[in-house]
Structure formats: structure tokens, C-alpha cells
Amino acid sequence: MFREGLKSIIAQNPQFEMAGEAGDGQTALQVLENLKPDVILMDISLPDSNGIELIREIRTILPAAQILIVSMHGRIDYITAAFQAGAMGYIVKDASSGKILQALDLVSRGNIFWTPP
């Protein structure tokens, strides 16, 4: 359901196009290898893998891709770990659609973005 909401938010801005989606880490890696997106929105809580480790894997496969974490976890240790693993942005899931689009825009241009805990 949350992914459907994200797709709706992304559709509000013609600058972005939703290329694909996945519900778990293994599927995500397959989709990423096939589509090679410029920007990746992902959670760090995944049913089959550790999102922080997945960021590191993505960095080896697609080093130029910008990664924006969209997570329910707002604790500083999660945020720090995500940035150390290679994320460029971190936003909590209860952020407004405008804030999510702002984060997506900034991260897509290579800027760092996060919402303070």
C-alpha cells in the first residue's frame, strides 16, 4: 500500500518516472540490474534482507545511482548507518508528499537530504 502511495506522489511530478518496483531485496537487485535507474527509493526494513547491506550491494552494482531511503525509522543510528552505507537521502514515511518530492528532487541532482529525527 505504501508503494502505491509513493507511485502516486511520484506521478505528481513529470520530472520523474517510476521505472520499476520490488517488495523484497532479492527482487530489487534483479530489477535494478535490468533497469539501471538513476534514483532508487527504498526502505531499510525489508522482508528478506538488511536494507543497510542492500545499499552496499547496490553501490557495487550501480555506483552512480542516487539512493533515497524512505523509512519508518527516524532514529539517528538508522540514518547514520544508511549514509555510511552509501545513501544520499533519508526521509521518514510520515513526511508530506511535498517533502518526499523535495527529497527526491535534491537526491536526484546529487545533493544530500534528510529529515531530522
Over the stretch 74-115, which tens digit does the pLDDT of each residue have?
899 999 999 999 999 999 999 999 999 999 999 999 999 998
* Average pLDDT score over the chain: 92
Q: What is the three-class DSSP state of 88?
A: coil
* 15-24, 40-49, 62-71 — most confident range: 62-71
Q: How far apart are the first and last CA of the chain?
A: 24
Specify the pTM: 0.92
The domains located in the chain, with CATH, are 2-114 (3.40.50.2300)
Contact 39, 64 (CB under 8 A): no
Confidence grade of residue 117 (pLDDT, cut at 50, 70, 90): low
